[in-house]
Amino acid sequence: MAEAAPILQNENFIQPLELPVVPEALAVSHLPQEQFTARRAEKFMAGIGQAIVSREVSLDLGTSDHEYNSQYSYNNLMEALHAAREGDSQARKMIEVNVHTDVVERTIKTGHITKVDLEVNSQGEISQYGQSMMSVYANALQITPKNSKMLNRTQAEVRNGFRLEDINRQGLLEDYNFVVFSLAPDDMTETEMKNTGFFTDTMSVSIQVTSSEKGQLSTETAFVTGKQKNKGRHDIDAVQKVSKHLGVDLENKSVTEILDTPILVHKSLMPEGVLEIVELYDDKAGNTFFGEQQPRQDYSKYSKKCQARENSFSQQVSAITSELISQADSVWTAEEASKRMNKISEKHMVSRAIRDESIDAMVFGLESAAHINLARHAIMTGDIFTAQNETVKAQTTARSSSCPSSLNGGRESLTSQEDTSTSKHSSGKKEKMTCPFCKDSNQYGDPCSDNQHCNSCDARVVNGKVVSRGGKKKKK
pLDDT digits (tens, 9 = 90+) for 149-158: 889 999 999 9
Determine the Cα–Cα distance for residues 457 and 466; give it in Å rounded to an integer: 11
Half-sphere exposure of 105 (CA within 13 A, CB side): 23
pLDDT digits (tens, 9 = 90+) for 180-212: 999 999 999 888 888 888 888 889 999 999 999
Q: 226: closest CA among 251, 193, 199?
A: 199
CA distances from residue 337 to 333, 347, 372 in whole angstroms, order as listed:
6, 16, 27
Centroid of chain to Cα 108: 14
Cut 0.95: pTM above it: no
Say yes or no to pLDDT of 410 above 80: no
pLDDT for res 383 = 94
Summarize the confidence of residues 334-347 as an average pLDDT: 91
Mean pLDDT taken over the chain: 80
Determine the Cα–Cα distance for residues 465 and 436; give it in Å rounded to an integer: 7
**Which are the contacts of 120, defined by CB distance < 8 A and separation ≥ 6?**
126, 127, 168, 215, 217
DSSP assignment, residue 150?
T
Determine the Cα–Cα distance for residues 253 and 279; give it in Å rounded to an integer: 23
Summarize the confidence of residues 336-353 as an average pLDDT: 94
DSSP assignment, residue 233?
B
DSSP string for 244-306: HHHT---TT--HHHHHT--EEEEGGG-TTTHHHHHHHHHHHTTS-BTTBSS----HHHHHHHH
Portion of the chain with pLDDT greater than 90, in percent: 53
pLDDT digits (tens, 9 = 90+) for 123-143: 888 987 667 888 888 878 877
pLDDT for res 248 = 95
* Contact call for residues 433 and 452 (beta carbons, < 8 A): yes
Least confident of 160-164, 245-249, 397-401: 397-401
Domain boundaries, the chain: 25-311, 318-397, 422-476
Least confident of 174-188, 192-206, 280-294, 404-418: 404-418
CB atoms within 10 A of CB 371: 23
Q: 116: closest CA among 324, 403, 406, 360?
A: 403
pLDDT digits (tens, 9 = 90+) for 86-114: 999 988 988 998 899 899 989 998 999 99
Who has greater pLDDT, 281 or 4? 281
